[in-house]
Structure 1
């Protein structure tokens, strides 16, 4: 028989006791989609969701289901699988100018000085805010499709260089980026 004193000191569920990171999630788009079958049209819903911890991690997910709640749940699960990590400077902006393309959408994102805020439209703004970016200026070119613009923003963020490399290219000390 196991000593009861040992059981009292060991936590029952270690996962439950660990502090969890705070993740925010926002629904960008919910659309009704139909599929033509032999018996008629089948209605379902598509949800596009962005999740982020507002500290340099962000993900995008798409889910389809017969009802809206299940579509959002599937989209959140999909977004958790596609999380990327980005580098932020001490002023909560990006170290250099980046561009991203997805389909007919092109996104141009450039860093801004402290106090500027997030100057961006539609889904680009949502992705950048959930990533934790506070000072940025962005422009979307081409198509205004919400899903493709969100994908283009994530593509641009994946092209982000390490701040040490960006500082070396611009002949600046790394301390200028980080505090």
Structure 2
């Protein structure tokens, strides 16, 4: 009986080890495929309408080529100047400039080392009282909002799982903010993994 019990324990341990080995790979592949499917749809549909044939996967190929070309272009001295000029034009276009600037800031915040675009990891009661959600303080709310609420507030970005680049921006009173002793990097891991990755204090 002891031998059978030991065998069951070994099988359970091996199975659990397998789960923790496969899970990060599965989540990563799922996110990559989700992104590629979105991009593939954007490029594929117009080409299919133009040519009248099905072209599955062509959008992914085009995206990879464009991404690689953009990377080479952006790292070149002349390319940087041209790209900076393009950005200036984008910023001057009404609405487009606002959207481009906002998206770029969010992407830069996630791309920076350990999320330096964010100030603190916090808990806020969202979407209703009694439900606590992990978020990141981005900046202090303007006087126009503080004057309306009658309290000093901060903007908190609440990312979604498993894609943290999308989410909600909420203004929360400073007195309702719960500061966490968790780095931005660790908090992002918790959010992306859906809480599977353990809580790590600084």
TM-score (norm 2): 0.21
Greater helix proportion: 2
Q: TM-score, normalised by structure 1?
A: 0.22
Q: Could you say which structure has the higher strand fraction? A: 1
**More relative contact order, 1 or 2 (CA 8 Å, 6+ apart):** 1
